[in-house]
Chains A and B, each alone.
Chain A
Amino acid sequence: MSNTDFALAVEDLTVSFDGFKAIDKLTLYIDRNELRVIIGPNGAGKTTLLDLICGKTKASGGSIKFKNTELTRMAEHKRVRLGIGRKFQTPSIYENLSVFQNLEVSYPAGRSVFGALAFQCTEAVKAKVQEVATDVRLADRLDTEAGLLSHGQKQWLEIGMLLMQEPELLMLDEPIAGMSARERELTAELPQRICTDRAVIVIEHDMEFVKQIAHKVTVMHQGKILAEGPMDKVQADERVIDVYLGH
């Protein structure tokens, strides 16, 4: 595969589970500074695609290139160190630790065993935690045990943990699932704000939210890409209406 200017270039990606092709020869390019939303019916392979990019699932074939570095055989933690951050569908935070500790642990320093032993929570770290906490509206909850946060706040906290790492590719799997209307509104501002200097992929079902944030929408169906383009064009697509949006 040749090199490209894209932040992420997925080409001919295939993964099969016992013969079932969850992702089938999928090709997808994401620009730097782009906010892409992936939509599609359940079982279309959206989450699997993110799993493949971050390394949770191993690809059966094809290539995933991030800034022209081949990822398919790379260990998960190394992909993260290259600049890929991923938020899971259910909020995945450390419930027993405080909000501060959750963010501090996500700071990209002292990642080896002895590095972690020598790690000091310096002013720079504290400032970064404060900055990110303000971004995700948790600045006044730093001492709270994360398990006590509301569902929406947990989602924000996980996004904050990713922002600590300054990823160049940020993948959010259903970031507003389970949020109250007010929390959704507040979250909608977030991707716009954090999208500068990085590519963002969002999986979402809430079409209002998608309309609000998306630069470009990709519709997936049965492991393949059904349609791709601006929101209004995709919404008018007959096939998309058939399989997903409904008449």
Chain B
Amino acid sequence: MNFIKASILRYKLWSLALLVLLLAVVLPLTLDIFRLNLVGKYLTYAFVAVGLVMVWGYGGVLSLGQGVFFGLGGYAMAMFLKLEASDPITTKIQSTPGIPDFMDWNQITALPLMWLPFKSLALTLILVIAVPTLLAWIISYAMFKRRVGGVYFAIITQAVALIVTVLIIGQQGYTGGVNGMTDLKTLAGWDTRTDSAKYILYYICVALLVASILLCRWIQVSKLGTLLLAMRDKEDRVRFSGYDVSNFKVFTFCLAAALSGIGGALFSLQVGFMSPSFVGIVPSIEMVIFAAVGGRMSLVGAVYGTLLVNAGKTLFSESFPDLWLFLMAALFIGVTMAFPMGLAGLWESHIVPWWKGRRQALREAAAPAPAAPPAAARADDASLPDGVSSQRI
């Protein structure tokens, strides 16, 4: 118990505890399963947003192609589910039974080689993480070793997003094309469409998201986290302190990609399909907006940002479908201009000082003249972005 308490204090996990309470208790008790499943879908995007906090907020590298990694993880999972849904008995009316329906429509008569690993669940689960990570490693190693950064890197990631989308749509026989992979039904014989399965998948999603946040938080408070902040500030100083800067960027980018891949796989499981519309440029930018709105320095903020923007999207696109995209753009511009640290930044700069002031006032009212903490130390704390403690304990 003491260990847990100490860890919470050390890693500043109160906000995470609150989030867990919301996701694991409040929402399941108040929402019906249809809405909860929707929240679960949004939470899969939150994996990407959490990754963006690491790579963009901490690493200072903006990626506009995270949808690619989300998509690769999602497709890896969907390929396994699709194979399971395409057993010879269900597909006996096809000219080649036992292969996914879209292959049959595209005159493919045998399962392509690249599909073979997805017959095994264990292998699929590995590939869900390995494929996005590998691609991220290739891109980032090539770029960061050549010291490509900033806006050039963002443009390249955008190009990758476009290329991958075109590839998926173009290779219809292998990928399902623009429709993607539909009719995903069971996971190793377990029907994922029932209400109970949806509850279980939702909780798996929440648990993995919390685990991801904990992992990222642990990295943030390690020396690597400090180095990322240092690099964002003065890259040359880090390099001339004996660090190979590119390796740290590559690591962070791969981490974000791996998280996105997990999010994608959970998307396929919970939503029951995967399509190129979650891979391309637009979804990639949307995911950046989630992180920006929540606060790019706050892991927990990124989750709230994702939930809020998506709730807004669902709400507004039901009533004003044409206006939504404009509203989203306005939101992004507004957030980056008015409060660049997002909701988490607002929380830190307004709510927390107000709360501290109130507590102080209450304490002073209760006990006359207690020793006040040095004002300078508190000012330091408030001026730092969320998630950056002024001094490591």
Which residues of A line the B interface, CB within 8 A? 54, 56, 75-77, 80-81, 85-86, 88, 92-98, 100-102, 104-106, 108, 110-113, 116-119, 121, 142-145, 148, 158, 161, 165
Contacts and interface: CB of A to CB of B under 8 A. Distances in A.
Contacts of A117: 219, 222-224
B242 A77 contact: yes
Contacts of B392: 100-101, 104, 121
B233 interface: yes
Residue of B222, B248, B391 with highest tally of chain A CB at under 10 A? B391
Given A105-B226, A105-B230, A143 B390 contact: yes
B244 interface: yes
B237 interface: yes
B15 interface: no
B234 interface: yes
A123 B222 CA distance: 16
A98 B377 CA distance: 12
Given A76-B240, A105-B238, A158-B237, 18 more contacts: A56-B236, A75-B244, A77-B242, A77-B244, A77-B245, A80-B240, A93-B237, A100-B392, A101-B226, A102-B230, A104-B223, A105-B223, A112-B244, A113-B224, A113-B248, A113-B251, A116-B227, A117-B222
Interface stretch (B114-122, B153-161, B179-187, B380-388): B380-388
19 contacts: A76-B239, A77-B243, A80-B242, A88-B236, A94-B234, A96-B384, A100-B392, A101-B226, A105-B238, A105-B241, A106-B241, A111-B244, A112-B244, A112-B247, A113-B248, A143-B380, A144-B380, A165-B241, A165-B242
A97 B229 contact: yes
A161 B243 CA distance: 14
Interface residues of B, number: 32
Nearest to A82: B242
A93 B234 contact: yes
B242 A94 contact: no
B237 A92 contact: yes
B282 to A, nearest CB: 33
Given A93-B234, A113-B248, A86 B391 contact: no
B390 A98 contact: yes
A244 to B, nearest CB: 28
Nearest to B393: A121
A54 B241 CA distance: 11
Given A80-B241, A101-B226, A96 B233 contact: yes
Contacts of A56: 236, 240
A100 B390 CA distance: 10
Contacts of A95: 233
A144 B379 CA distance: 10
A118 B233 CA distance: 23
Contacts of A81: 242
A181 B365 CA distance: 48
B234 A54 contact: no
Interface string B243-281: 111011001000000000000000000000000000000
Contacts of A97: 226, 229-230, 233
Residue of A100, A102, A105, A143 with highest tally of chain B CB at under 10 A? A105
A64 to B, nearest CB: 15
A101 B385 CA distance: 16
A144 B223 CA distance: 18
Nearest to B230: A94
Contact of B233 (A75, A94, A108, A165): A94
A98 B236 CA distance: 18
Contact of B243 (A102, A111, A145): A111
A145 B230 contact: no
Nearest to B233: A94
A108 to B, nearest CB: 6
A113 B236 contact: no
Interface string B308-351: 00000000000000000000000000000000000000000000
Contacts of B377: 143
A93 B229 CA distance: 12
Nearest first, the 6 A-B pairs at minimum CB distance are A80-B242, A119-B223, A116-B224, A94-B230, A116-B223, A92-B237
Contacts of A119: 222-224
B222 to A, nearest CB: 5
Contacts of B251: 113
Contacts of A105: 223, 226-227, 230, 238, 241
Contacts of B384: 96, 145
A94 B236 CA distance: 11
A117 B226 CA distance: 10
A116 B248 contact: yes
Nearest to A76: B239
Nearest to B383: A145
Interface in B349-393: 377, 380, 383-385, 388, 390-392
A110 B223 contact: yes
Contacts of B230: 94, 97, 101-102, 105
Contact of A100 (B234, B237, B245, B391): B391
Contacts of B243: 77, 111
A86 B240 contact: yes
A145 B239 contact: no
B277 to A, nearest CB: 35
Nearest to A167: B242
Residue of B237, B377, B380, B391 with highest tally of chain A CB at under 10 A? B237
A94 B245 CA distance: 15
